[in-house]
Amino acid sequence: MDIISTPPYADMQRLYSRYFSLGYLNPDINTKFALISLICYLTDKIKSKKPDTTHYQIIRKILGNDLPEDLAKGLAVICSDFAYGCTQFPTFGIDDKNIPAKIKEIMSARTPF
C-alpha cells in the first residue's frame, strides 16, 4: 500500500507564500477576513442569478487589471475555499452598493513585497 505524503512544511510554506498570500494588506486580521467575506458575499449574491460566476470573475470585475494575476488567482482560490459550503457572509454593515468600493479601498492599502 502506497502512503500519500505531503511535501515538507517549508515547501508548503513557499507554495502558499508564492500563490496564496495576501501579503502585507493590513496589520489587522479582521481586514483580511473582511476582504474575503465581502468578495464571497458578492459572488454568492451574483451566483443566485448567474450560477457560473466565479470569485475570480468578481475580483477582476471590481479590481480590473490593478491586481497582479498571481494575486487575483490566489485570492480567488482563498475565497472559494472559505466560501465552500457557506450560505451567509458578514458584510460588516456595508450596503451592497458600497461593497465594491470597500474591496477597492482594502486592496489599495496593499504593500506588494
What does the domain layout of the chain look like in residue ranges?
A: 36-113
Q: Residue 57: which of 44, 91, 94 has the closest Cα?
A: 44
Section 11-33 average pLDDT = 86
Question: Given this model, what pLDDT does residue 56 score?
Answer: 98
Neighbours of 47 (CB within 10 A): 15
Question: Given this model, what pLDDT does residue 21 score?
Answer: 85
Neighbours of 57 (CB within 10 A): 14
Section 40-47 average pLDDT = 97
Section 78-90 average pLDDT = 96
**pLDDT tens digits along 60-74:** 999 998 888 999 999
Query: Residue 35 and residue 48: Cα distance in Å, rounded?
Result: 20
- In this model, does residue 18 exceed pLDDT 90? no
Question: Given this model, what pLDDT does residue 108 score?
Answer: 87
* 51 φ/ψ angles, rounded to the nearest 5 degrees: -60, -20
- In this model, does residue 91 exceed pLDDT 70? yes
Query: Distance from first CA to last CA of the chain, Å, rounded?
Result: 43
| Burial (Cβ within 10 Å: 0-12, 13-18, ≥19) of residue 37 | buried
**pLDDT tens digits along 98-112:** 999 999 999 988 766
